[in-house]
Structure 1
Amino acid sequence: MSLNGRISELAAKHRNLDEQISTEQKRPSADGLVLKDLKRQKLRIKEQLRHLKVS
């Protein structure tokens, strides 16, 4: 996979996680552990994207 392809794939996953976080936060009984995990995954992808864009 090319570098641009990998960046696009990670960006799509980042957007998907953002949507999942938003959906979970709107639930009346939002699960804090689920939110924490989703946010951690999103941050990890953000760091990978930053690393790939620099190289």
Structure 2
Amino acid sequence: MTLSLTKDQEARLGLELAAKRQEHSDLDAAITTLTEARLADRMLLQRLKKRKLALKDRIVQLERILLPDIIA
């Protein structure tokens, strides 16, 4: 299924994708730091990991919209 996006929609989705990638990276760093320093309880780590997974799902969704598979 191919979506026809306006330049404005494409730009907004591109900005959202960049923001989600950055947030995902930041969460990954925070989880690593908290785990290594043993500063967080299991519930906090579980919440952060769940948020990270939700971000990854949205990133994949945005990538599929912006970078559709090209059948060769």
TM over 0.5: yes
* Partner residue in 1 for 2:32: 22
Which one of the candidate residues 16, 19, 23 is aligned to 1:13?
A: 23
Residue aligned with 2:55, SS = helix
1:18 partner letter: D
Which one of the candidate residues 23, 41, 45 is aligned to 1:35?
A: 45
RMSD: 1.4
Normalising by structure 1, report the TM-score. 0.88
Name the structure with the higher helix share.
1
User: Rg bigger for which structure?
Assistant: 2
1:37 partner letter: R
Gapped runs of 5+ residues in structure 1?
Answer: none
User: Identity of counterpart residues, as a percentage?
Assistant: 27
Normalising by structure 2, report the TM-score. 0.69
More displaced, 43-52 or 30-39? 30-39
1:25 partner letter: T
